[in-house]
Structure 1
Amino acid sequence: MSANGGTKAIVAALLANVGIAVTKFVAFLLTGSSSMLAESIHSVADSGNQGLLLLGGRRAKRAATPQHPFGYGRERYIYAFIVSIVLFTVGGLFALYEAYHKWGHKEGITEWHAVPVVVLVVAIIMETFSFRTAIKESNHVRGNQSWVKFVRRAKAPELPVVLLEDLGALVGLVFALFGVSMTLITHNGRWDAVGTAMIGVLLVTIAVILAIETKSLLLGEGAEAHDVTAIEKAITAGPEIERIIHMKTLYLGPDELLVAAKVGVRTWHSAEELASGINAVEARIRAAVPAARVIYLEPDIYNADADRADSGAATHIEPGETAGRSGG
């Protein structure tokens, strides 16, 4: 659902931004407004970013190879990180440069006065529809999380990226409308520069937030606490496993979770029985957390006496791990 919803939101944003970019650029050519130029480049950058997200989603579907045995799921993270760089450089830094340039050339808008206002109002309406689509698709997967928590914790990067881009586009349009309106009222082009600078600061801020969040995904994030709990319960729900000695999880891609655990097992009469028991545990894990597609369970004999001997010592337990000691 997240992948389909993400694609729908990306396409909606792409169509809106292409149309908006053309109308803004025409308005800039007619009026010479720096706010309109900054917004034109912003929309072009956003359109390119949505193309990158679509490309990343497509490339991530490639089958695993001997060189990349866990597949290409993380390509979606890489392209989302590239989006943050494009937004920072092409959108944010260009707007700040244009604001600096306009501040030194403070001529106002001398002709086609109504054009930038009309274009910006129409762009706000179009961008609102795109933002509404992103919100609607995000609500399918957001659950009870706050919007801040959803952006910070989402494993699929497309929806948070589109949400922040659309939010930035809407606020940026309001900033541009403020700069253009004040320029028309006062006949002082420095208000246009102020609006452009506000757009630049906004885009740089959003780009930094996206870079931080996608960097965390690129480095490798483990499962959320509720999924870790569900996996632990699934492992110990049957008679096969006496306890979890330790466990690690890692997202290989937005929809693929790796689970690796050393588990204490009871005494088995044959290797065939042991293999059958491990298979049953893996089936329970996948039923509890469908994203857990890659599972490695290492059976060991749990030494309860050794554990009791150490029960008085302080033990550091990593998130997602269960304390214990193996016999070998």
Structure 2
Amino acid sequence: MAHGGGSKAVIAALAANLSIAVLKFLAYLLTLSSSMLAESVHSLADSGNQFLLLIGGKRSKRQASAEHPFGYGRERYVYAFLVSIILFSVGGVFALYEAYSKWQHPHAMDARWAWVPLVVLVGSILLEGNSFRTAIKESNHTRGSKSWAQFIRTAKAPELPAVLLEDAAALLGLVFALFGVTMTIVTGNGHWDAAGTGLIGLLLVAVAVVLALETKSLLLGEAATEEDLRAIEASLVGPGVSGIIHLKTLHLGPEELLVAAKIAVTEAETGAQIAQAIDAAEERVRSAVPIATVIYLEPDIYSAAKAGRP
């Protein structure tokens, strides 16, 4: 996935969330609705998260150094993990605390301003829906035939899964808030408002946990996708390379892949012939999988005992 697509979705989400956060907070000040306060903090947390994703994307483009010889590509994963922590703590835990507090001390809304949160929530749904549509459109460029769950689990670039999860949570959270606020207005019972806030908190905690688990896997280091792995295996074998003794891959970043392999050559080949075969194999791999930016090939004589062993 091109990072530009991820950035476009992040910027669209950021613009929507900043606007929505201001409107929700104004609605909270007028009505003192806990659902509106939870949603205000939710949108503010999402805005901060999008800033972090943009910063991570920018910092990941730094050139490799002696201290970090493979570059800074994984910095995008670090910032995505920070996003999950903020979503959990600032968004989810705060909403749960606010729900508990308002359940203990419920209050009805000021009838004069009861229409304000309804207008804000409906407008927020429209804005978030547009942001969500942008994220879906950008994701479809690389999702292929995968289901959305598979895409989120297997995507190597963290920005789009993060924005997809955040936008989906935001839309569902707005529905919960709309339900809580509407029932509070209709019944005059502030417990409905607290219930809507609690549902928002549980939703944010669940999304944060999913995002944290997926980003943790990327931080630990994931291999190439099955599609890329098959392409690499097919590309390595060619003139001078009779087979693959073993192969390992590792994502150094979303668009940077390390390929390390021990390849089989014949005893009759000279050093010059082996070097030429290795160069040709590297060219074939880079042609088949452009993100294979770092390739290390070790020639060896094939034997059953060595197959699959480093």
Distance across 2 between alignment mates of 1:263 and 1:170:
51
How big is the shift at 1:2?
2.7
Q: Contact conserved, 1:234 with 1:281, CA < 8 A, in 2? A: yes
Partner of 1:37: 37
SS in 2 for 1:221: coil
SS class of match (2:106):
coil
Conserved? CA contact 2:240–2:273, under 8 Å = no
Structure 2: gaps of 5 or more residues:
none
Q: CA 1:120–1:263 in structure 2 vs 1: closer, same or farther (change >3 Å)?
A: same
Do the aligned residues in 2 keep the contact of 1:268 with 1:274 (CA within 8 Å)?
Answer: no
Quote the residue 1:159 is aligned against. 160
Q: Look up the SS of the partner of 1:241 in the other structure.
A: coil
SS of structure 1 residue aligned to 2:216: helix
Please report the TM-score for the alignment, with normalisation by the length of structure 2.
0.97
1:7 paired with 2:27, answer: no
Question: In structure 2, what is the Cα distance between the partners aligned to 1:247 and 1:67?
Answer: 26
Correspondence for 1:316: none
> Which residue of structure 1 aligns with residue 78 of structure 2?
78
1:143 aligned onto 2:144: yes
Structure 1 residues 125 and 255: CA distance shift in structure 2, 3 A: same
Tell me by how many angstroms 1:277 deviates: 1.1
- Cα distance change on mapping 1:2 and 1:324 into 2, 3 Å: closer
**Does structure 1 conserve the Cα–Cα contact (< 8 Å) formed by 2:235 and 2:281?**
yes
CA RMSD across the alignment: 1.3
SS of the equivalent of 2:250 reads strand
Of 154-163 and 220-229, deviating more is: 220-229
Call closer, same or farther: CA 1:223–1:325 in 2, change over 3 Å.
closer
What CA distance in whole angstroms lies between the structure 2 residues aligned with 1:178 and 1:239? 67
* Deviation per residue, 1:281-304 (Å, 9 max, x gap): 00001111111110000001123x
Closer/same/farther in 2, CA of residues 125 and 275 from structure 1, 3 Å limit:
same
Deviation at 1:104, TM superposition (A): 1.0
Alpha carbons of structure 1 residues 232 and 269: separation in structure 2 relative to 1, 3 Å: closer
- What is the CA deviation profile of residues 35-81 of structure 1, one whole-angstrom value per residue up to 9, with x for unaligned ones? 00000000000000000000000000000000000000000000000
1:323 aligns with 2:307: yes
Amino acid at match of 2:37: L
Determine whether 1:230 maps to 2:231: yes
Q: CA deviation at 1:225?
A: 1.6
Q: Which amino acid aligns with 2:138?
A: E
For 2:300 and 2:240, locate their aligned partners in 1 and report how far apart those are by CA, in whole Å.
12
Shift of 1:113: 0.8
Pick the structure with greater CA Rg: 1
Q: Distance in 2 between matches of 1:167 and 1:118?
A: 20
Q: Which moved more, 1:221-230 or 1:159-168?
A: 221-230
C-alpha displacement of 1:199:
0.1
Question: Once the two structures are aligned, what percentage of the paired residues are identical?
Answer: 64
Matches within 5 A, 1:123-138: 123-138=124-139
- Tell me the distance in 2 between the aligned counterparts of 1:147 and 1:240: 42
Task: Verify the 8 A CA contact 1:302 1:325 in the aligned structure 2.
Answer: no
Give the drift of 1:266.
Answer: 1.7
Superposition map of 1:120-269 within 5 A: 120-236=121-237, 238-269=238-269
Q: Distance in 2 between matches of 1:104 and 1:269?
A: 81
> Which shifted more, 56-65 or 239-248?
239-248
